[in-house]
């Protein structure tokens, strides 16, 4: 019903917004007669739809669906879950198999060989291989860790290997040489034993088995028996119990009964799938939608939180709370999925924020099954499979490998397509005429091939009046052409092009709803960026490629939260003193700024020392290449600062004392150009929450008192 209403509204808006001002007299009469017929048809459709919507509204209230939407404060990542990933030694049941494989590979009498780890899904094979790699990989001259999906993209795999081996690009002259010699050894991986199963289960829910209330220990035995020693099953069930939707006792009883009724005689793999389905079934409906959307990404794809959060908002999946903006609410959704172990963290920062994630292949299988049932999206590598489905495909993920594909079928008309994601070889992008997808809202293109030069023509998007989000991810050689009349895309909210070369059309400054603008370094913007009042993200603003007027106009972007300033060095900045004064006065006006990155590979020692804090809410400040004569005093007032990267000519005890008193600082990277006149002492109670400290200096100069900082940091 939602799809039908959405299709009808878009079609109606398309007709209503048509303009006949440039038509002749006869054409205007015909146009207006057609509009009258359309309006009459719309009136009848409105009456039909209204009846159905009223019935749906009554059901919605009767089932109290809104009650499942969280209206609480921002959901943070569960620290108990972070503990499962933070310490390799704490990975339950991995030490024995890891040491055994390590012994095989490092044995003095062994040659290089292949070790195969076998077992069903959810047993932890990838985790085991990763632990072996982290333990001994650094002992080899060449080492790489690669995940290969069921439909591998060979070019991406080879590029990834070469990147890890120190090669930045993949060219025909770059070849991978190596011979795998010796016998192949296989180790059939075993499930966790009872002790390790209980340890993993209780660590996830309570932090330790000792913290488990006595009343739950009996029922836990039956639950763990149904999990069969499979780590993925144990973590999924324990995460469900750690995030109860009802009272704790009722949740344990519900899970126990659910597993007992369905899992008693099932084989391990079927039982695993049903446990994952139980976790999915118990998601609130708004989280189900967000979870299913992750299936547009290919297997083993690293999904950035910032990307998917923005896409959820664009798709209309996020219910904005009164005291929170949409990005905070969407970020809370993401964290809930992490806490429920529906997605796997791949990068956790020092504030325990999950920056990126991936899907376990069994979770992806679950998503693809549920998405097909709900007609939520379609995944294919061949357009011919879409013939006859032009009215039912609303989200499409095209996942090309490097094989041959049916280009003739690429002309299939997908009238009501809302989201299009293209992954794989860039040559297939030219198969699609974007102007055919007139109702498209989200366009994602991710190219894995690495060619010397390629171009991407996006001028066709000018006709997509519903377009809101454009993301292009490719290698540095891509040349992207945007339409000159981009201001016609009045609903456009996000342009994300991090690599390549792109010419920004002058009328981009007239996009009233543009929230995120991410462009490559070395890209100039037309004058008038001060008109983009809605901007929240601006990266990367090249100080050498923009006029002094544009640098001054930054002060007008008062909604900015994330600002990345850089200098590519293409153009020499004249009148440096004036330039710095304008930049300083602009930064002082940005009261909502949370993230500020400034890259200037030169000497500007005192330029920003007198800066009034641009925002007391700054959480991340990166100025590791903007040299200060000393630590600026204004940094001491940034009580919400988590990450600080700073470069100073000289560091004194007073500077360290100022930094050591920052109450939220968890990550400090400090560069010092010269050597101090005397040793710098780090006293007790300094840096109360610091977890990462990196200090660059020409000579050793730091002295730490005993028991300074946390044990974790000292390690």
Q: For 458-484, write each residue's pLDDT tens digit.
A: 888 888 888 999 999 876 677 888 998
More confident: 653 or 156: 653
Phi, psi of 480 (to 5 degrees): -115, 130
Sign of CA dihedral 539, 159, 482, 398: negative
Q: Are 618 and 644 in contact (CB under 8 A)?
A: no
- Kindly state the percentage of the chain with pLDDT values over 90: 28
Give whichever of 254-258, 530-534, 608-612 has the largest mean pLDDT: 530-534
DSSP per-residue letters across 542-571: ETTTS-HHHHHHGGG-TT--EEEEE--SSS
Tokens of 589: 């006006």
pLDDT above 70 (res 709): no
pLDDT on residue 112: 61
Tokens of 150: 């069921």
Band (pLDDT 50/70/90 cuts) for residue 436 is confident
pLDDT at 424 over 60: yes
Q: Which residue has the higher pLDDT, 346 or 186?
A: 346
The larger pLDDT score, comparing residue 459 to residue 337, is at 337
Indicate if the pLDDT at residue 173 is higher than 50: no
Query: 469 - beta bridge partners?
Result: 442, 494
Which helix (DSSP H) or strand (DSSP E) does residue 457 occupy? strand 454-457
Tokens of 568: 């590519």
Q: What per-residue confidence (pLDDT) applies to 622?
A: 93
The pLDDT confidence band at residue 182, using thresholds 50, 70 and 90, is very low
Range from 311-325, 327-341, 682-696 carrying the lowest mean pLDDT = 311-325
Residue showing tokens 């908002």: 313
Cis amide leading into 540 (omega within 30): yes
In this structure, which long-range contacts are made by residues 29-38, counting pairs with CB atoms below 8 Å and at least 24 apart in sequence?
A: 38/12
Rounded CA gap, 479 and 457, in Å? 8
Tokens describing residue 709 = 């900082």
Flag the least confident range among 145-149, 345-349, 412-416. 412-416
pLDDT of amino acid 23: 59
Tokens describing residue 577: 């003193």
Lowest mean pLDDT among 234-238, 258-262, 445-449: 258-262
| pLDDT above 80 (res 181) | no
Residue range 392-410: average pLDDT? Answer: 70
pTM above 0.85, yes or no: no
CA gap 620, 297 in Å, rounded: 29
Per-residue model confidence as pLDDT tens digits over 614-646: 678 899 999 888 888 888 888 999 999 999 999
Over residues 1-15, the pLDDT tens digits come to 777 777 777 767 666
- Euclidean distance between CA atoms 416 and 14, whole angstroms: 12
Tokens of 685: 């109670």
Give the tens place of pLDDT for each residue, 159-170.
Answer: 777 777 766 544
Place of tokens 């150009």: 673
Cα–Cα distance, 542 to 509 (Å, whole number): 16
* Spatial separation of the C-alpha atoms in residues 428 and 343, rounded to whole Å: 30
Contact 684, 704 (CB under 8 A): no
DSSP state for residue 348 in the 8-state scheme: E
Q: Characterize the bridge pairing of strands 595-598 and 620-628.
A: parallel
pLDDT score of 88: 44
**Cα(473)–Cα(580) distance, integer angstroms:** 33
Burial class (CB in 10 A: 0-12, 13-18, 19+), 460: middle
Average pLDDT, stretch 361-379?
Answer: 91
pLDDT value of residue 94: 81
Please list, residue by residue across 364-391, b when 16 or more beta carbons sit within 10 angstroms of its beta carbon and e when fewer do.
Answer: bbbbbebbeeeebbbbbbebeebeeeee
pLDDT at 510: 94
Q: Which band of pLDDT confidence, cut at 50, 70 and 90, is reported for residue 111? A: low
Residue 167 has a CB neighbour count (10 Å cut-off) of 14
Q: What pLDDT score was predicted for residue 412?
A: 58
Question: What local confidence, expressed as pLDDT, does residue 28 receive?
Answer: 65
pLDDT tens readout for residues 530-554: 999 999 999 999 998 999 999 999 9
And the tokens for 295? 């299936």
- Contact at 8 Å (CB) between 147 and 258? no
């Amino acid at each position: 019903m939602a799809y039908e209403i959405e299709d009808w509204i878009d079609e109606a808006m398309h007709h209503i917004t048509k303009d006949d001002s440039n038509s002749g007299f006869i054409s205007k009469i015909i146009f207006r007669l057609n509009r009258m017929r359309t309006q009459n048809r719309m009136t009848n459709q409105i009456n039909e739809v209204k009846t159905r919507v009223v019935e749906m509204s009554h059901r919605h209230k009767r089932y109290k669906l809104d009650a499942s939407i969280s209206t609480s404060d921002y959901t943070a990542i569960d620290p108990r879950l972070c503990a499962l990933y933070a310490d390799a030694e704490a990975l339950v049941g991995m030490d024995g198999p890891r040491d055994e494989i390590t012994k095989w590979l490092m044995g003095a009498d062994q040659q290089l060989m292949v070790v195969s780890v076998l077992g069903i899904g959810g047993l932890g094979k990838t985790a085991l291989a990763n632990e072996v790699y982290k333990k001994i990989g650094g002992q080899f001259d060449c080492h790489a860790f690669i995940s290969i999906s069921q439909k591998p993209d060979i070019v991406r795999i080879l590029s990834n290997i070469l990147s890890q081996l120190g090669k930045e690009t993949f060219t025909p002259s770059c070849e991978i040489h190596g011979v795998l010699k010796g016998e192949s050894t296989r180790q059939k991986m075993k499930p966790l034993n009872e002790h390790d199963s209980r340890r993993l289960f209780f660590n996830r829910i309570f932090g330790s088995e000792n913290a488990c209330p006595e009343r739950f220990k009996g029922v836990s035995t039956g639950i763990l028996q149904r999990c069969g020693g499979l780590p993925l099953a144990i973590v999924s069930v324990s995460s469900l119990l750690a995030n109860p939707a009802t009272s704790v006792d009722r949740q344990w009883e519900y899970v126990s009964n659910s597993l007992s009724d369905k899992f008693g005689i099932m084989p391990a793999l079927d039982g695993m799938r049903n446990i994952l389905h139980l976790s999915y079934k118990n998601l609130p409906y708004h989280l189900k939608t967000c979870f299913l959307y992750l299936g547009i990404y290919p297997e083993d794809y690293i999904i950035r939180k910032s990307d998917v959060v923005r896409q959820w908002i664009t798709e209309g999946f996020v219910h904005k709370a009164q005291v929170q903006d949409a990005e905070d609410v969407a970020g809370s959704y993401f964290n809930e999925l992490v806490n429920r172990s529906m997605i796997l963290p791949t990068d956790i920062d020092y504030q325990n924020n999950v920056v990126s994630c991936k899907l376990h292949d069994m979770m992806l299988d679950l998503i693809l099954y549920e998405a097909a049932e709900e007609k939520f999206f379609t995944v294919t590598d061949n357009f011919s499979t879409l013939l006859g489905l032009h009215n039912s495909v609303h989200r499409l993920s095209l996942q090309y490998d490097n094989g041959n594909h049916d280009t003739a079928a690429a002309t299939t008309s997908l009238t009501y397509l809302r989201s299009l994601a293209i992954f794989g070889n860039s040559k297939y992008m030219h198969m699609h005429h974007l102007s055919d997808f007139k109702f498209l809202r989200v366009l994602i293109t991710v190219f894995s091939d690495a060619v010397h030069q390629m171009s991407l023509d996006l001028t066709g998007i000018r006709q997509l009046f519903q377009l809101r989000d454009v993301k292009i991810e490719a290698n540095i050689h891509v040349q992207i052409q945007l339409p000159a009349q981009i201001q016609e895309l009045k609903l456009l909210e996000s342009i994300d092009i991090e690599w390549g070369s792109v010419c920004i059309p002058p009328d981009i400054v007239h996009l009233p709803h543009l929230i995120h603008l991410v462009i490559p370094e070395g890209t100039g913007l037309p004058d008038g960026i001060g008109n983009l009042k809605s901007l929240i993200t601006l990266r990367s603003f090249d100080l050498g490629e923009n006029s002094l007027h544009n640098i001054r106009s930054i002060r007008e972007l008062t909604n900015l939260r994330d600002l990345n300033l850089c200098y590519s060095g293409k153009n020499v900045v004249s009148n440096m003193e004036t330039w710095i004064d304008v930049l300083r006065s602009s930064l002082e006006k940005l009261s909502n700024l949370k993230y500020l990155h400034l890259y200037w590979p030169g000497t500007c020692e005192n330029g920003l020392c007198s800066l009034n804090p641009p925002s007391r809410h700054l959480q991340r400040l990166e100025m590791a290449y903007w040299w200060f004569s000393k630590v600026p005093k204004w940094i001491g007032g940034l009580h919400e600062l988590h990450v600080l990267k700073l470069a100073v000519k000289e560091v004194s005890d007073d500077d360290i004392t100022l930094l050591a008193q920052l109450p939220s600082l968890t990550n400090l990277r400090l560069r010092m150009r010269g050597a101090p006149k005397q040793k710098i002492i780090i006293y007790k109670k300094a840096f109360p929450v610091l977890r990462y400290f990196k200090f660059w200096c020409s000579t050793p100069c730091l002295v730490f008192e005993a028991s300074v900082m946390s044990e974790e940091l000292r390690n």
